[in-house]
Structure 1
Amino acid sequence: MLKEASEKRIRLITIMAFISIPLSGFVTDIYLPSFPSMAKGMQVSEKDIQITLTSYLLSYGICQLFVGGILDSIGRYRPKLVALFLLVISSILITMTDSILLICLLRILQGAAVSVLVVATRAIFVDIYDSEKVKHYLSYFTIVWSLGPILAPFLGGYLEKLFNWHANFYFLAFYAGGIFLFEWFFSGESLPEKKRLNFSENISLYKMMLKNRIFMLGIFILGLSYSIVMLFNITGPFIIENTFHFTPVVIGYCTLILGFSWMIGGFIGKRRITLDFKARIIQPIIFQLFMIACLIVISYFAESLFIMVPFAFFIHICSGILFTSFFTTSMLYFPKNAGTAGGLMGGLVYIITSLTSFIISVSGNVTEQKDLSWRYLIIALLLLGIIVIMNKVLRKEKAEN
């Protein structure tokens, strides 16, 4: 039992937990620069390649709804080992096939595996540390996690240039395999007392939360905010390589820059968390719509990587601000059931993002800068509509109280 382990072993397990956190971002984003070459190599459409990412996101989101309760019942250690093993095997199998259907099925398996890893890793800190240290360590989670989406496409671009798209999944197998070996030899079960799995209680909690309008509107805002980022991730590589004729390395640099924009938005959102609704929420969405409108107008006169990426940089900062603002308020909305609320929120956010990504994939090829900008506008207008509805609901509740 890790609760009784030596201080040195606990410190080592903590370090490895933080090393494993960015893995989820790597599984999502490392092969983004390889989208065009995968489509050419397999002789399939852009839509087919994009659906491999949608499959992963949908699986990751759905599994988060149930994983927490299961891990509380059977423990963290063995499910984490199984998840890491499946991640290694599935990554290797992806390199051995040209079947999009099989790749999508394996990506669904990876989504389930990563959901177990993320929830189990987060739970380990709660299991082995007191409340003050838990707050201290969990405050770094978002920052450490963001290293995955920032660094993964950058690394993936170079792997694509030096080898091919298969190298991305060999890297994932190596990354997950290293963590698996550490867990096997040095880690152990952290759950001090297993709880009886009570589906009826969880379902009752979910029903109560789903009926809360503010909580649900916040989740939709989180999902659409993240969808704006994913829009560039699934369409940008094709525009950069096929239209602007740059290499996968350049795609990696672009996603690296936009990864930093998301992080910057997060820091700005955190500093503005005490402001009123208009300053904290309305101003960023209005500025985002203004930047998108400017990009649409400019796109009919000039299209260039050096136009598209700077505009996307500021558009993604606004999404980062909105995401951070609503993530914080949503997590605090049910303080007595924070774990269940966090699982429901995280799961639904990824489900919304996956559905949005699927709609984008089947809406037609995004080959030009203006195609991207119009889709930015559609999602941003949906965001604005939900924000306006939330503002009205908040005002009504305030008047009633």
Structure 2
Amino acid sequence: MKFQDEKYLYISTLLAFILIPLGGLTTDIYIPSLPAMAEDLSVPVEKVQISLLLFMVSSGFSQLFIGIILDSFGRYRISIFALITFSLASFTIALAPQIDVIYLMRIVQGISVSLIIVGKRAFFVDMFKGEKLKHYTSLFSIVWATAPIVAPLIGGYLQVILGWQSNFYLLGILAIIILIFELQFTGESLRNFQVFKRNEILAIYRKMLGTPDFYLGLIIIGLSYSLLVIYGMISPFIIEKVYGFSPVVTGYSSLGSGIALMSGGIISKLLIRKGLFTKIVTTIILMLIIVLIMLAITSKFDGVLYLLGFTLTLHLISGFIFNNVYVYNLQRFTTNAGVASGLTGGGVYVVSSIVGYGLINLFEIKDIQTLTSVNALIISLLFIAILFFRKAVIKLSRITDHALNQQASFS
């Protein structure tokens, strides 16, 4: 077996950081092309939107279980196989543009991407320790957020210049280039392979998913991210079909959405010393006020500036809530950090895609007024989830304090 060569560790680390945003890149790069795809394939826009849903659900569900597989069978060979598979799936979408083929290949892409990015996150844990590991892992969210910022902008220009197929050609070519570097410079980073024990694994999953503050945290981050998912799915049709702008404008609007999400995360890091519930309760109340103002104004006024102004503000605040609760969930089970990471990362995609696609089809979002109503519904659900989350964390704290007091009395 080919193990990671220390003299190429810097290059391997750089390649890992390049691959971590692959999921967001694969999701967002063709968002400006959704109307053109629907027209070219002669299908309703809802059928093209399903391709986004299939990728997110397959990627999300895969992440729930892939960590265990990678710990048992290694990272390197699986990553190489996944890159080859991802590249072939991307070229197939571009060369055989039929909606059913696209659906199947998007599922293949989702599973392949999960194998790649979960393995690359694990690479850092395998190869680095202490402060260096903390330094690299602290960059994950920033690197991950680059895809929603850059991808739609690239996709918008590709759509205008070369058409929607060029997005998938680019993904396939990018995967091949990285594959060549991976074969040359990387190797297996895992030294101690774990035995695959089904009963123990199932017990861990049952424990985590049965813990109220953990599963409520999954719901909160999923609902927070669903605001961006819904906007990503419907913004091309509102901006291009209702307001008459080009796909490039859609790309810039998604760029703004991604920057808002990243900014929310950065602000949450700056306020890291503040209490968790002081931060998220204050911000969810602020979100409710903003969406009520949005409901009042958009009932009388319309236009792309109103759409972007209110939407980006909500995405900034949702990014703040997302980052705070995401970090809480990752740290909730320190003895099973890998599984907690997989459940948290996969849970984001599963919850947000189901909520997003479900509401899009239930309300048929075709204008800013309907979008505002859907945003109000999600934020109301988010408010309720945060109240239950707060109650669960307080209960956990009391149980922990009681156990510590009993232990102190016995000693």
C-alpha distance in 1, partners of 2:272/2:384? 21
Mapping for residues 217-296 of structure 1, pairs under 5 Å: 217-296=216-295
Q: How many angstroms apart in 2 are the aligned matches of 1:212 and 1:300?
A: 42
Q: Measure how far apart 1:185 and its partner are.
A: 2.0
2:71 — aligned with what?
A: 72
What letter is aligned with 2:331?
Answer: L
Deviations 1:330-376 (A, max 9, x none): 11111111111111122222111121122033224322111111111
Q: Which residue does 1:347 correspond to in 2?
A: 346
Q: For residue 303 of structure 2, what is the aligned residue in structure 1?
A: 304
SS at match of 1:229: helix
Aligned counterpart, 2:375: 376
Please state how far the C-alpha of 1:146 moved relative to its aligned partner. 0.9
SS of 1:118 mapped into structure 2: helix
Deviation digits for residues 216-273 of structure 1 (CA, Å, limit 9, x no counterpart): 1111001000101111001111100000100000000110011100000001112223
> Which range moves more in the overlay, 296-305 or 216-225?
296-305
Match of 2:135 in 1: 136
Quote the residue 2:110 is aligned against: 111
User: Which one is further off, 48-57 or 383-392?
Assistant: 383-392
* Alignment partner, residue 5 of structure 1: 5
* Secondary structure of residue in 2 paired with 1:68: helix
User: Residues 122-201 of structure 1 correspond to what in structure 2 (within 5 A)?
Assistant: 122-201=121-200
1:121 aligns with 2:120: yes
8 Å contact kept, 1:32–1:237: yes
Q: Distance in 1 between matches of 2:338 and 2:164?
A: 37
Partner SS, residue 363 of structure 1: helix
Task: Calculate the aligned-residue CA RMSD, in Å.
Answer: 1.5
Q: Which residue in the other structure is 1:319 paired with?
A: 318
> Does the CA contact (< 8 Å) of 1:51 and 1:361 recur in 2?
no
Q: Secondary structure at the match of 1:275?
A: coil
Q: State the Cα deviation string for residues 30-58 of structure 1 (Å, max 9, x = none).
A: 00000111111112112111110000010
Please tell me whether the aligned partners of residues 5 and 186 of structure 2 are also in contact (alpha carbons under 8 angstroms): no
Q: Could you tell me the TM-score, scaled by structure 2's length?
A: 0.94
Q: Which amino acid aligns with 1:110?
A: Q
- Residue type of the alignment partner of 2:134: K
Count of residue correspondences: 400
Q: What are the ranges of 5 or more consecutive residues in structure 2 without an aligned counterpart?
A: 403-411
Counterparts in 2 of 1:278 and 1:336: CA distance versus 1, 3 Å: closer
* Identity across matched positions, percent: 37
In the alignment, does 2:357 pair up with 1:358? yes
SS in 1 for 2:95: coil
1:277 shift after superposition: 4.2
**Is 1:22–1:144's contact at 8 Å kept on the other side of the alignment?**
yes
Deviations 1:189-233 (A, max 9, x none): 111122111221111011111111111111100100010111100
Name the CA distance, whole Å, in 1 between partners of 2:376 and 2:77.
Answer: 45
For 2:22, the aligned partner's letter is: L
CA distance in 1, matches of 2:387, 2:195: 42
Using the TM superposition, give the Cα deviation of residue 304 of structure 1 relative to its aligned residue in structure 2, in angstroms: 0.7
After superposition, the C-alpha distances for 1:10-68 in whole angstroms (9 at most, x for unaligned) are 11111121122222211110000001111111121121111100000100011111111
Q: Give the aligned partner of residue 211 of structure 1.
A: 210
Partner of 1:202: 201
The answer to whether the aligner puts 1:390 opposite 2:389 as a matched pair is: yes
Equivalent-residue separation in structure 2 for 1:20 and 1:398 (angstroms): 38
AA of the residue aligned to 1:241: E
Structure 1 counterpart of 2:297, which letter?
I
SS at match of 1:81: helix
